[in-house]
Structure 1
Amino acid sequence: MCKITATIVLYKNRTYELLETIDSFLKTEMDVRLYLVDNSPTDDLKSIFYDSRVEYIFMHSNNGFGAGHNVILRNPEKMGKYHLVLNPDISFKEGTLERLYDYMESNSDIGNVMPRIVYPNGELQYLCKLLPTPMDWIGRMFIPFSSIKEKINDSFEMRFADYDKEMNVPYLSGCFMFLRKSVIEEVGVFDEGIFMYGEDTDLNRRIYQKYRTMYYPKVTITHAFEKGSHKSLRLFWIHVKAAVYYLNKWGWFFDKERREINKKTKLNYSNL
């Protein structure tokens, strides 16, 4: 069994960016395997990269981000001891996988770990979040006042916390999820009722119920990160539908677990 496997779900990606992500993952002496799951309408990306450690899977249709990753997550025999859900716009230095592997090996109660994530210019991305309320996810999309949006973001994105310290976070971004295989076998895979946006929230919440889901700032990666839903009406409505699905599943205004988890998280990590 490989020590680390990874999936990248593709959809008409920029070649130069994708190649950088692939190269970042493969630049290691560890036993790794990478699955490229292509949701694109054509298989033009099939020949983008050749390496015996890479397997290309053309889906012939686009069933969503979570469904693409589930092609591997539903098959434990294809997964390594740890499995990385990896966005196609991520890059990192050699040694990153080794450090995350060692961290997980030393902490058997962790189900998911996310490193410190920065923009290409080095600016921090606030990707540690509380469990979302209707206002966090839907309300702020329609609020025209930037000052109110910023106030919501300050709380939701845990800007009250010290991002230089490790934290057990209920919602870690799905752009880089370093998962323990045995935990996925226990709690399940991405909920395919969510096409895109929010499937990471749901999965991390289920893991958090039984294990620690850690932000680990001693390792840093770079995320190009474009907020597609802010630029495309189609993606905007996909985002809204995902939020509605998630809130229907977990609770809109009456979610006792969310209230307790968020309260505890603020208490533990408030940097005020």
Structure 2
Amino acid sequence: MYDFTACIVTYNTPKNDLKKIIKCFQKIKLNFKLWISDNSEKDDLKSFFKEIDDNRIEYIFNNSNKGFGAGHNVVIDKLINSSEISEFHLIINADIFFEENIVEKIFEYMKRHSEIGQIGPKIRDLEGNFSYTCRLFPKPLNLVFRRFLPFKNIVYKMDYDYEMRWANFEKIMEVPILSGCFIFLRVSALKEIGGFDERYFMYMEDYDLCRRIGQKYKVVYYPEVEIFHEHGKASYKSRKMMMFHVKSAIKYFNKWGWFFDKERKIKNDETRERYFKEN
């Protein structure tokens, strides 16, 4: 049994990105298994991973691109349908970089806190700028309509609350939503709720998964460690990615509710009240 397993979904991912993240994994002192789930049109990475020659890393060619969540579900299904492969599973983007002992610290914290189903670290960009990656459950204004609002002051006020900018990000705290670029999960939680909802091709599948985990476990932001994310907010830089984001947001609200979402109101109110009571 592994201490933890991990999966990276690739789609024409630059080999330099993969080299960086693999070097990070190879410094980890825990017993792990890393799968590379490739959604690319061709299995060009097959020879690349043969050259790496690390039996802890396994390449899977999916021969199709059914989406980010579907690529991860190839591995999640293995975990769910097996009696024991690992206690924890890490879903991670290829453009992530982390120093030594980061995963070890998260692993140890999760071992001590069985009530946590998902945990996420502090995240910075490569210049060291802090990223506000904790979220309340979104309203349509936060994800869909804000794109078309011309009033920056209104957008800023919406983001201030939605991105929990009122919180102290130096403290461990329970939150509704964490970033999908680094998702450290308890496998027993996945066995209860299942994997990603494959109706989302790209974007929002992480929100959906996090929300389902939060119905049964705590979702916790853990700033005792930090990682670096290179290509964050791609949907703000590409019209194509923006359209993927909007389409997925529509699917999210069709599933969970647009303007009438009782769970959203309760969870968001509880998050604010808990924070301001403790601080």
Within the alignment, does 1:196 sit opposite 2:202 as a pair?
Answer: yes
Give structure 2 stretches of 5+ with no counterpart.
Answer: none
Task: Indicate whether 1:160 and 2:166 are aligned.
Answer: yes
1:99 aligns with 2:105: yes
1:68 lines up with 2:57 in the alignment: no
Amino acid at match of 1:62: N
Q: Which residue of 2 aligns with 1:22?
A: 22
Q: Would you say how many aligned residue pairs link Structure 1 and Structure 2?
A: 272
**Aligned twin of 1:110:** 116
- TM, length-normalised to structure 1: 0.96
Distance 1:156 1:46 in 2: 41
Runs ≥4 residues deviating over 3 A: none
CA contact (8 A) 2:29 2:104 kept: no
Equivalence for 1:138 = 144
Check whether the contact 2:96–2:229 (CA below 8 A) recurs between aligned residues: yes
Structure 1 position 74, deviation (Å) = 1.2
Deviations 1:29-55 (A, max 9, x none): 211110000111122222334211110
Supply the distance in 2 between the matched residues of 1:233 and 1:225 (Cα, whole angstroms).
15
Q: Separation in 1 of the partners of 2:19 and 2:138?
A: 33
Instruction: Work out the percentage of aligned pairs sharing the same amino acid.
Output: 47
2:266 partner amino acid:
E
What is the DSSP-based 3-state SS (H/G/I as helix, E as strand, rest coil) of the residue aligned with 1:128? coil
Provide the residue aligned with 1:39 in structure 2. Answer: 39
> Residue 80 of structure 1 corresponds to which residue in structure 2?
86
Structure 2 residue matching 1:7: 3-state secondary structure: strand
Shift of 1:79: 4.5
- C-alpha distance in 1 between matches for 2:151 and 2:15: 37
Q: Return 5+ residue gaps in structure 1 as ranges.
A: none
Q: Deviations over 1:58-97 (max 9, x none)?
A: 1111111111100011112384210000001111111111
Q: Note if contact 1:73-1:79 (Cα within 8 Å) is conserved in structure 2.
A: no
1:264 offset after TM fit, Å?
1.1
Residue pair 1:133, 1:252 contacting (<8 A) in 2 also: yes
CA distance in 2, matches of 1:65, 1:79: 22
CA contact (8 A) 1:197 1:242 kept: yes
Aligned partner of 1:133: which letter? K
1:26/1:32 contact within 8 Å kept: no
